[in-house]
Amino acid sequence: MIRSIDGGVTAPAGFRAAGVRCGIKKADLDLALLVADGPVSAAGVFTTNQVQAAPVLVAKDHLARSGHVATAVVVNSGCANACTGPAGLDAAREMAAETGRRLGCPPEQVLVASTGVIGVALDLAKVRAGIAEAAGRLSRDGHADAARAIMTTDPWPKSHAVTVDSPAGRFTVGGMAKGSGMIEPSLATMLAFLTTDANVEPLRLQRALGEAVADTFNAITVDGECSTNDAVIALASGSSRVTIDEAAYPALVAGMRAVARELAVAIVRGGEGATKLVTVRVIGADSTAAARQAARTIANSLLVKTAVHGGDPNWGRLVAAAGRAGVVFVPERAAVRVGGVELFRDGLPHDDRAPAAAAHLRGTDIAIEIDLGAGGPGEATVWTCDLSAEYVRINAEYRT
């Protein structure tokens, strides 16, 4: 059984957090610390972009050097520290070293993450001051400030936590995330941090994180843009004394997936300029991989996203996107449904049903289902949002 609880990323025992303002952003909190009571198992998945920001490179290096053990994660918002050359790498390493000095742990046990504008140097004096202040404010109640401190264009902070009953006993999973623009499944573009008080050895935690990410953070898209700073990091404190073996492993994945899905959908709901959450479900595909590819193509279609924004039940845009997805699509056996209203079936339109579909599109939670007609068992779901003029305004003015 999985049950939602309060507490976010510090709901699991063994973790404290803090969020402070150090002046990187023009306003609001902009530096967060997430700290375990001691060295814990750690796992991470990162951007597939060939341009990888300094904090991504440092975090990956520290996971390898520490044997996937970490004590803390330090995060700044307002500056991505990406495309900043050797100085950027030095800055990311110094963030880890300063955090280690304040907490009394080796720098390789500190993972680093940054988010914000690309190509801007990180002000280390401000970061050092922020780390010092955050280290003095760590608490179990600090999760709310930490979730605020990692935001950039997010309209609200995102956190969630659950308890999980497993064959080995009850444990807790918590998390926080940020993301609003540059969101695309390749890891989805974001920062996300998951914690659990289960006792999980590092390789098993890494495997569980990969499974949880596959159909949550890797199944969302706002604008099809893969960033340079994507990171999803998981920490397992073991404070519950519930040991995750292979029998309990499915429960761990289920708990991590439950938290990750809540955070992932919240990212899309709060996408830049978004007014509607859109669930795109593809069925009848040759394989799960084919279904995911088709769902992603449909969800990223600008014509689909603008039609949803305008409340236009234009099933032709859905058929066209499915047809160019590069997977088997058989129009003569395909179907398109919007809000459960079938608008296209077996090669023929049902435009007389358009008013019912248009009524569904006037809501804020939109359901689209496409049967590819391939007759296979493959199915997948991708979450996206509509595309509005506000998205254009936000990104036209992002640096100015």
Question: For all residues of the chain together, what is the average pLDDT?
Answer: 92
Q: Are residues 221 and 306 in the same domain?
A: no
Q: Are residues 289 and 264 in the same domain?
A: no
Q: Are 297 and 322 in contact (CB under 8 A)?
A: yes
Q: Are residues 163 and 66 in the same domain?
A: yes
Q: Are residues 333 and 213 in the same domain?
A: no
The whole domain housing 150 covers 2-269
Last residue of a domain, one of 223, 252, 269: 269
Q: Are residues 118 and 223 in the same domain?
A: yes
Q: Are residues 207 and 69 in the same domain?
A: yes
Last residue of a domain, one of 269, 304, 324: 269
Determine the angle formed by the axes of helices 249-269 and 202-214, rounding to 10 degrees.
40
Q: What is the pLDDT of residues 110-143, one digit of tens each?
A: 999 999 888 899 999 999 999 999 999 999 999 9
Q: Which amino acid is at 296?
A: R
pLDDT-derived band of residue 273, with 50, 70 and 90 as boundaries? confident
Q: What is d(CA 146, CA 176) in angstroms, rounded to the nearest whole number?
A: 8
Q: What is d(CA 163, CA 14) in angstroms, rounded to the nearest whole number?
A: 15
Q: Average the pLDDT over each of 33-37, 222-226, 274-278 and give the range with the smallest value.
A: 222-226
Q: Are residues 135 and 160 in the same domain?
A: yes
Give which of 303, 326, 333, 327 is closest to 315, Cα–Cα.
303
195 a catalytic residue:
no
Place of tokens 């600008």: 302
Q: State the sign of the Cα–Cα–Cα–Cα dihedral 145, 1, 166, 46.
A: negative
Determine which one of 163, 189, 196, 297 is catalytic.
189
- Report the residue count for the chain: 400
pLDDT of residue 390: 76
**The token pair that represents 347 in the structure block:** 């090669």
Q: What is the pLDDT of residues 197-256, one digit of tens each?
A: 999 999 999 999 999 999 899 888 876 656 678 899 999 999 999 999 999 999 999 999
Place of tokens 């814990």: 40
Q: Are residues 181 and 236 in the same domain?
A: yes
| Cis omega (within 30 of 0) for bond into 187 | yes
Q: What is d(CA 119, CA 210) in angstroms, rounded to the nearest whole number?
A: 29
pTM greater than 0.85: yes
Q: What is d(CA 166, CA 284) in angstroms, rounded to the nearest whole number?
A: 33
Backbone angles phi, psi at 246, to 5 degrees: -65, -30
Q: Are residues 136 and 218 in the same domain?
A: yes
**The token pair that represents 115 in the structure block:** 């988010």
Count: domains in the chain? 2
CATH of the domain at 165: 3.60.70.12
Taking each continuous run of H as one helix and of E as one strand, the counts in the chain are: 11, 15
Looking at per-residue pLDDT, the higher value among 145 and 218 belongs to 145
Q: What is the pLDDT of residues 54-87, one digit of tens each?
A: 999 999 999 999 999 999 999 999 999 999 999 9
For residue 208, CA distances in Å to 161, 204, 265, 267, 352 come to 17, 6, 19, 21, 47
Q: Are residues 175 and 203 in the same domain?
A: yes
Last residue of a domain, one of 234, 269, 304: 269
For residue 133, CA distances in Å to 22, 54, 55, 152, 307 come to 9, 23, 21, 21, 47
Q: What is d(CA 161, CA 118) in angstroms, rounded to the nearest whole number?
A: 31
Q: What is d(CA 104, CA 221) in angstroms, rounded to the nearest whole number?
A: 39
Q: What is d(CA 393, CA 142) in angstroms, rounded to the nearest whole number?
A: 33
pLDDT of residue 183: 47
Q: State the sign of the Cα–Cα–Cα–Cα dihedral 121, 126, 132, 134.
A: negative
CATH of the domain at 372: 3.10.20.340
Q: What is d(CA 271, CA 309) in angstroms, rounded to the nearest whole number?
A: 13
Q: What is d(CA 330, CA 357) in angstroms, rounded to the nearest whole number?
A: 23
Q: Are residues 91 and 119 in the same domain?
A: yes
Q: Are residues 96 and 210 in the same domain?
A: yes
Give which of 40, 39, 13, 23 is closest to 236, Cα–Cα.
40
Q: Which amino acid is at 166?
A: S
